[in-house]
Amino acid sequence: MAMTQLTTQDLTRIVAAQGLPTLLARLVDYLEADFRRWPEFDKSARTAAHSDVGVIELMPISDASDFSFKYVNGHPGNTRLGLSTVVAFGVLADMRTGMPSLISELTLTTALRTAATSVMAAKVLARKDSRSMALVGNGAQSEFQALAFHHLLGIDEVRVYDVDPAATDKLVRNLAAAAPALRVVRSASIAQAVRGADIVTTVTADKANADILTPEMIEPGMHINGVGGDCPGKTELATGVVAMASVFVEFEPQSRIEGEVQQMAADFPVTELWRVLTVQAAGRRNAAEVTLFDSVGFALEDYSALRLVRDCAIELGLGHEAGLIPDLRDPKDLFGELAAAPAIARLKAA
């Protein structure tokens, strides 16, 4: 059974062939379909190896048919070394045989799935008339968030702020080229960006307990999309902001450890998003309610993304054999495969 490999070049070809809005819309569809069958999955919080400078994580999940996992890191200081803050790859395997069928880049794909997950949540949590978004943190994830909300939810104005002006320059330049109809407004402060926004997205990278948003910034009816807090000791919202909102999470056991709600008491009420998508719980209840999607990233989202890129690759004829699984002539003779290799043959001759 061949194992297909999809590279970053394959992913860029998929985006080019599908178009970013179409691909994001398809990804939201895959996510919603999988979240609606949430009880079918064997779920666990990710395994994390923390250090003073970052984290390396493994994120597994499975249903009766497929197993997937993602390897991902988060090292905010990497940019000073000329390295990406986050890199990732993922695997899909057949639960019936254990045979891996796909290994794929997930660095670009994770940015796409994170933005699509934000949209999936906002569809049921944000006000339907939302047209403006504040985007605090203008790094690697920011364009994906802005474009997803613009193309899929009708956001026509984005107010942007970052402590690094060069990051904002980059974001403004990229959005002008990718979405000329989207109005991008530079803000002098977080408070200025947030004032009057329908949706507030925070996507900062520092591994710290930060108060990016404070209670006096929050207005009735806002939806807060908290993306940057994703490990113990890393938050973006003041506790008062969390306390005043109706809070929705992906997988509660993981969010209690890694999300904004790590700051709150163990009995602080949260609602898992799948329950809203299956109409077992309410989303937004009224126009004045403040809602918070406390997003930390969950393995099911990567499972959905891997299924989509696999299907797109099949449609487009992309990918090649990874060469990571031996093609044994006799499944019981693993050593024979090694002994048949040219290097072993040369050793015998010597």
The full 3-state SS of the chain, as one line of letters, equals CCCEEECHHHHHHHHHHHCHHHHHHHHHHHHHHHHCCHHHCECCCCEEEECCCCEEEEEEEECCCEEEEEEEEECHHHHHHCCCCCCEEEEEEECCCCCEEEEEECHHHHHHHHHHHHHHHHHHHCCCCCCEEEEECCCCCHHHHHHHHHHHHCCCEEEEECCCHHHHHHHHHHHHHHCCCCEEEECCCHHHHHCCCCEEEECCCCCCEEEEECHHHCCCCCEEEECCCCECCEEEECHHHHHHCEEEECCHHHHHHHCHHHHCCCCCCCEEHHHHHCCCCCCCCCCCCCEEEECCCCHHHHHHHHHHHHHHHHHHCCCEECCCCCCCCCCCCHHHHHHCCHHHHHHHHC
Catalytic residue among 230, 267, 327, 333: 230
Kindly list the distances between the CA atom of residue 93 and the CA atoms of 67, 299, 303, 332, in Å, as whole numbers in the listed order: 5, 14, 11, 21
The count of C-alpha atoms lying within 13 angstroms of the C-alpha of 271, restricted to the half-sphere facing its C-beta, is 22
**Is 333 a catalytic site residue?**
no
Calpha distance 115→129 (Å, rounded): 19
Please say whether the beta carbons of 127 and 287 come within 8 A: yes
Closest CA to 209 of 183, 251, 239, 244: 239
Calpha distance 85→41 (Å, rounded): 30
Tokens of 130: 């939302």
Active-site residue set: 230
